[in-house]
Structure 1
Amino acid sequence: MMTVTMDEQQKLKALIRYYIDEENKVEKLVDYLIRHETVGLEVFAYLGFDKMDELMFQPVSRRTFIRRMPFYFHKPSKELGDIAELSQYIYYSLEFNKSNYGEQLEDFYCALERLFYDFEIDVITILNYTVKQRGRVGEIQPIYNWLHYLELAQKLRIEEKTPTRFIVEYNNVREMVGLEPIIYEISEMYTGEYIERYGNRLRMDGIFPCDHNNQPILKWIGVRIKNSKRIYVNVNDKLKGSLFVEITPRTKVWGLNVYGTDEDGSDIWYDLYTGPLLMEFDHAVIKDRRVAIGMTQKQVAEAIGASSRTYQKWERGETTPDGHFLLRLMNVLDIKELSEITKIQDVDDI
């Protein structure tokens, strides 16, 4: 049993009263803490509170319990600005079926303690700031990113604790200390589709970091764009929305990891759009396909209604078949997609 003086008891009561407003429960908790060095789940039933889920609480030392009372006894209030609760982070983000669940829970509570005690941020802000920034309830990773931002900002003597556009300021401080920024990849719009065309304009959806002029910061976005006429965004206050590209005949767009990473986990840039002036007839393909199906040049030429001389020029790359003959070639050589018979200019030439 812990030996405490009357003065220490009064200080403990004063602290507990800040989180529990019923005097009889205050007295009971002080009595419990004096008698126990380790606080178990039963303390909540002992105090007459609703049963605490064991997923949210595991036995902790007396000192740790006291430090975490601001979170254990927080009562969400929409009037005070609460849109998220402690339980949502734990239920939605922690993997309770994993053997290291206890470590996950402890890491989360330690992060909350650091935000509260080291950076002096109130509980309502802690539970709600990243939700208001991201628009998703219960995501723990943004909490960890925020804590990391605060640690870096402290070293850089940046005083802003809750920047209006967190993802932008977080990447700024990461780059200031020499860390790689977070790259925001575009989202799937439809099944397997990441880009949509409207006339001379392309659209992609996702989260798009923007500067103070609301211009997209492309180095932090998982797209590469060359030879566009204009690039702009239409996003909400969480920087979620659409990126638009006004195209030219030589515009090229790639998307980062839209169809998955490489086998070793490394990044892959996939072609999403190629302007018509970047596409060329691949004369080597028709020869390869002709040989594969066992036809002579003369046979192919006769099958499509062209002269042997004209066809030979196509195979040698001296001339290019027009649309009329191209369709016939694809049919005879069993080429199903136009992409099979075209090649794209080398990226360095764009």
Structure 2
Amino acid sequence: MTVAVDEQQQLKALIRQYIDEERNVEKLVDYLSRHEVVGLEVFAYLGFDKMDGHLFQSVAKDVFIRRIPFYFHHSQGNLDNLGTLYNFVIRIIEYSRISYEEELERFYIALEQLYHDYRIDTVTIFNYTIRQTGYVGEFESIYTWLHYLELARKLGVEEKTPKHLIVDYNIVRERAGLKPIIYEIRDMYVGDYIERNGNILKMEGIFPCDRNNQPILKWIGLRIKNAKRIWVDVNDRLKGFLYVEITPKTKVWGLNAYGEAEDGSDVWYDLYTGPLLMEFDYTVIKDKRVAIKMTQKQLAEAIGASDRTLQKWERGETTPDGHFLLRLMNVLDIKELSEITKIQDVNDI
């Protein structure tokens, strides 16, 4: 009898943290004493009309009790307490990559672990990812946070709510022998990933930084060689811009900027090449000439050059100057300099 009374008192203490009216506390305890399975009707019984079938599906009584903190958490409507269960469930309905029922159960289990295993209060649970991402209801970020906590516990790291989760998560992933998350840059305009102003390149995205606000390039989907200076201008969520002060030998590649390979593997795309890294691709002249069925003599006459000069260009012995290059591009229908330029590969520098 004493055990049952103690359990009931503990249950009341839990419920009082989330339900203000003592009358409803007593009603819920009474309901739970009479039901082994809790259905949606319990919320109407308590006078709550906000819970619906999307947020709640019938569960065993012990499961319902473990999830009381989430079912009855309410927002204060300010930046420190804005998130609710409803925000997350709506995004699950819209963005889940598995069935809604499976995702919802996975989400609830994650909440239980955060609350019961890691002793994190509901205000923090529902709002920490908002501060990290800038979005309300980012359920995938909950899973990232939980995985961080699991790895941190194994590694003896005590911080539960790091200032920048994406940074600390990669730190513990690497310490645990896992691959870090790589943050790819975003297109600033349609199909354009770099904005150039003089000798400064500007790129947009999420940029993990160290404690000195320096970008951690190994975690960013960029390869940058021979830059004079690299820095960022980001907000508290590490979203913003990365800047590169270029030199004549600077080279920039972007990871999967224009999509992955057909087999799903990563592709590094050329985004910027300094002039001293660009070489004339002499093989293009012959290839283009043959494609349009012109002889060396015909092409030489068309651009006002000698046969011998053209032969040297096609063998790579000499390079056409700007005057002849423009004429070659016109006759051979070469629209972009990139078509007659050899650019070094990401692994060559």
Question: What range describes the TM-score normalised by the shorter chain of this pair?
Answer: over 0.9
1:214 aligns with 2:198: no
Determine the C-alpha separation between the residues in 2 that align with 1:13 and 1:340. 74
2:111: which partner in 1? 112
> Equivalent residue of 2:233, what SS?
strand
Q: Which residue of 2 aligns with 1:174?
A: 173
Residue 187 of structure 2: aligned partner: 188
- d(CA) in 2 for partners of 1:347, 1:207: 22
Quick one: structure 1 residues 347 and 165, their matched pair in 2 at CA, closer, same or farther if it must change by over 3 Å? closer
Alignment of 1:85-164 (within 5 A): 85-95=84-94, 100-164=99-163
Do 1:55 and 1:96's aligned partners in 2 also have CA atoms closer than 8 Å?
no
Query: Partner of 1:309 in structure 2?
Result: 308
Paired AA for residue 173 in structure 1 = V
d(CA) in 2 for partners of 1:306 and 1:139?
Answer: 64
Q: Output the CA distance in 2 between the equivalents of 1:224 and 1:5.
A: 64
Shift in Å, 1:348: 4.8
Mapped contact 1:250–1:277 kept (Cα < 8 A): yes
> What residue in structure 1 maps to residue 17 of structure 2?
18
> Given residue 159 of structure 1, which amino acid in structure 2 is its aligned partner?
E
1:292 partner amino acid: A
Q: Distance in 2 between matches of 1:7 and 1:163?
A: 37
CA distance in 1, matches of 2:157, 2:80: 26
Instruction: Give the 3 Å change call, closer, same or farther, for CA 103–169 of structure 1 in structure 2.
Output: same
- The corresponding residue for 2:326 is 327
Question: Aligned residue pairs: how many?
Answer: 347
Q: Which residue of 2 aligns with 1:341?
A: 340
Q: 1:96 to 1:156 in 2, by over 3 A?
A: closer
Aligned 8 A contact 1:248 1:275 in 2: yes
Please give the TM-score of this superposition, normalised by the length of structure 1. 0.95
Displacement of 1:93 in angstroms is 3.1
User: In 2 relative to 1, CA 140–98 (structure 1 residues): closer, same or farther, beyond 3 Å?
Assistant: closer
Q: Residue in 2 aligned with 1:244?
A: 243
Partner deviation per Cα, 1:206-226 (whole Å, 9 max, x = no partner): 010111111110000000011
SS at match of 2:51: coil
Deviations 1:175-196 (A, max 9, x none): 1110111101101111111111
Q: Please provide the CA RMSD for this pair.
A: 1.8
Matched to 1:258, the amino acid is A
Q: In the alignment, is the contact (CA less than 8 A) between 2:223 and 2:346 conserved in 1?
A: no
Query: Deviations along 1:224-257, whole A, 9 cap, x unmatched?
Result: 0111111111111111111111111111110001
Please state if 1:284 is matched with 2:274. no
Is residue 76 from structure 1 mapped to residue 62 from structure 2 by the alignment? no
- SS of the aligned residue for 1:266 comes to coil
Residue identity (%): 71
CA distance in 1, matches of 2:299, 2:191: 36
For 1:112, give the aligned amino acid.
L
Contact kept, 8 Å, 2:39 with 2:58, in 1: the verdict is: yes
In structure 2, the partner of 1:318 is: 317
Deviation per CA, 1:264-305: give whole Å up to 9, x if none: 111111110111111111111111111111111111111111
With over 3 angstroms needed to count, the CA separation of the structure-2 counterparts of 1:245 and 1:81, relative to structure 1, is same
TM-score normalised by length of structure 2: 0.95
| CA deviation vs aligned residue, 1:77-105 (integer Å, no higher than 9, x gap) | 13582122211111013458987321111
SS where residue 150 of structure 2 aligns? helix
Please say if 1:47 is aligned against 2:40: no
Aligned to 1:267: 266
Taking the aligned partners of 1:348 and 1:35, their CA distance within structure 2 comes to 69
Structure 1, unaligned runs of 5 or more: none
Q: Secondary structure at the match of 1:270?
A: strand
Gaps of at least 5 residues in structure 2 are: none
SS at match of 1:78: coil
Structure 2 Cα separation of the partners of residues 282 and 79 of structure 1 = 61
Distance in 2 separating the partners of 1:96 and 1:306: 62
